[in-house]
Amino acid sequence: MKDFFNTLRNIYKIEDLRFRILNTLGFVLIYRLGSFVVLPGIDPAQLDALQAQTSSGILGIINMFSGGAFSNASVFALGIMPYISASIVIQLLGMAVPAVQKMQKEGESGRKKLNQYTRYLTVLITMGQAPSYIANLKMQLPSEAFLTNPTFFWISSIIILVSGTMFVMWLGEKITDKGIGNGISMLIMIGIIARLPFAFLAELGSRLSDAGGGLVVMLIELVVLLFIIVANIMLVQGTRKIPVQVARAAVSGRTGLPQATQARQYIPLKVNAAGVMPIIFAQAIMFIPSLTFGLVSDEPNAVIQALSDFQGFWYNFTFAVLIIVFTYFYTAITVNSNQMAEDMKRNGSFIPGVKPGKATGLYIDSVLSRITLPGSIFLAMVAILPSIAMKAGVNQQFSQFYGGTSLLIMVGVILDTLQQIESHLLMRHYDGLMKSGRIKGRSSMSMAS
């Protein structure tokens, strides 16, 4: 406990870190307050039907990602997911369109251009999803819930929903620039954590009922949850080390002439180099059918129904395949094996038994592909655990924390945020957050000896 308070004192002493944490808390507070601001023209007392609709199924997951804003008919109802969808499209275009590839290689100026195009695409996606959301409101809420002219309500609500999503995106970017952690991931995590107390109380209430099994079953569920959390941490921090020989100049004691020596170091390749981004991307894709087509009809077609059935086979199979594909895709973007090989060659390093240059790049790529496969499969298995937990009788709200998108995002974002805080402490020559070693987040890709 003394070490904990010493760490808090050290964090407070670092002015830049202190202001970054306060900025992050301020932006998060704005986001949470906005999730309770109801769209103008809707009676907040008439939202029971919408909240009942979003208590289960795929809409329950969408509501969790938005921190409850979806079921509150909030100005932030569509949340950050349109921006995630736009980012997916831009990154996919980077693999197929030469002009986008050129911008990706232009450094900071290219990144700014791509960010601008991502914002424009976010507006278009949100303008496509907003009418579906409003049509769903019209179907779910009684007519007396709407207090303004229908035409005015449609136009104003679309403008407000688009503006709300853009404001949430701006908040995320400000957290990244002025706060701690990745802002977009942070906002998603905050929305998930906001639902945790309600989910826990709902599960506790069901277990304390006559047919619920009592506190013993609840205790077993918590132990299983703890085990899954540890497994997720191991997935995020797991690495495979490649031995590297580094040539160093030394002076011979006998002749006084330079003599080449070799020191062994290691390249730590992460089992899950992509972090939680594949599961965020895959979840955003799975939301599209419900947000775009499923909300506007009482009887959606069979394909939409299959892809909206959270416990169904086709939903979970498609979700798992998308996660595996996006894991490879995002790993290829995150880890440039050819650049690593060139840097090693330039620094006089080599992998024993492998020629420097192109052969080294191919070797790193092959190792990365082999370790990514089991990592992506395990990631997919963890992602579909909530549906398995529901089959075992766990309440849907609480089952979302048995792996799946919720737990992976929470573990990944928390570790990344703690790693950034620790980096600030170590740069100022303070002790880190843990005495047993450094915290490893998703971004730990540097060469370690």
> Which tokens belong to 48?
């029971």
pLDDT at 112 over 70: yes
Q: What is the pLDDT of residue 447?
A: 32
- Binned at pLDDT 50, 70 and 90, residue 248 comes out as very low
- Euclidean distance between CA atoms 269 and 238, whole angstroms: 9
Q: SS3 for the chain, per residue?
A: CHHHHHHHHHHHHCHHHHHHHHHHHHHHHHHHHHCCCECCCECHHHCHHHHHHCCCHHHHHHHHHCCCCCCCCECCCCCCHHHHHHHHHHHHHHHHCHHHHHHHCCCHHHHHHHHHHHHHHHHHHHHHHHHHHHHHHHHHCCHHHECCCHHHHHHHHHHHHHHHHHHHHHHHHHHHHHCCCCHHHHHHHHHHHHHHHHHHHHHHHHHCCCCCCHHHHHHHHHHHHHHHHHHHHHHHHCEEEEEEEEEEEEECCCCCCEEEEEEEEEEEEECCCCCCHHHHHHHHHHHHHHHHCHHHCCCCCHHHHHHHCCCCHHHHHHHHHHHHHHHHHHHHHHCCHHHHHHHHHHCCEECCCCCCCHHHHHHHHHHHHHHHHHHHHHHHHHHCHHHHHHHCCCCHHHHCCCCHHHHHHHHHHHHHHHHHHHHHHHHCCCCCCCCCCCCCCCCCCCCEC
Q: How far apart are the first and last CA of the chain?
A: 32
Do 19-179 and 195-449 come out as alike in CATH topology?
A: yes
**Dihedral of alpha carbons 355, 361, 364, 367, sign:** negative
> Which tokens belong to 414?
């928390």
Top-confidence residue, 22 or 273: 22
What CATH number belongs to 195-449?
1.10.3370.10
Instruction: Calculate the average pLDDT of the chain.
Output: 78
Query: What digits encode the pLDDT tens for the residues 303-346?
Result: 777 777 777 888 888 888 998 988 888 887 777 777 788 877 77
- Euclidean distance between CA atoms 260 and 2, whole angstroms: 49
Domain range summary for the chain, segments of one domain joined by +: 19-179, 195-449
> Which tokens belong to 75?
């100005």
Q: Judge contact between 402 and 224, C-beta under 8 A.
A: yes
CA proximity to 180, closest of 425, 419, 4, 439 = 419
Q: What angle do CA 260, 264, 270 make, to 5 degrees?
A: 145
Amino acid occupying residue 318? T
- The label of the residue with tokens 């599960």 reads 203
What CATH number belongs to 19-179?
1.10.3370.10
Q: Judge contact between 178 and 21, C-beta under 8 A.
A: no
Q: What angle do CA 434, 440, 445 make, to 5 degrees?
A: 145
- Binned at pLDDT 50, 70 and 90, residue 74 comes out as very high
Q: What is the pLDDT of residue 300?
A: 59
Query: What digits encode the pLDDT tens for the residues 186-239?
Result: 888 888 888 788 888 888 887 877 676 778 888 888 888 888 777 767 766 666
Top-confidence residue, 350 or 326: 326
- Euclidean distance between CA atoms 182 and 412, whole angstroms: 11
CA proximity to 161, closest of 81, 273, 265 = 81
Work out the average pLDDT over 284-292.
73
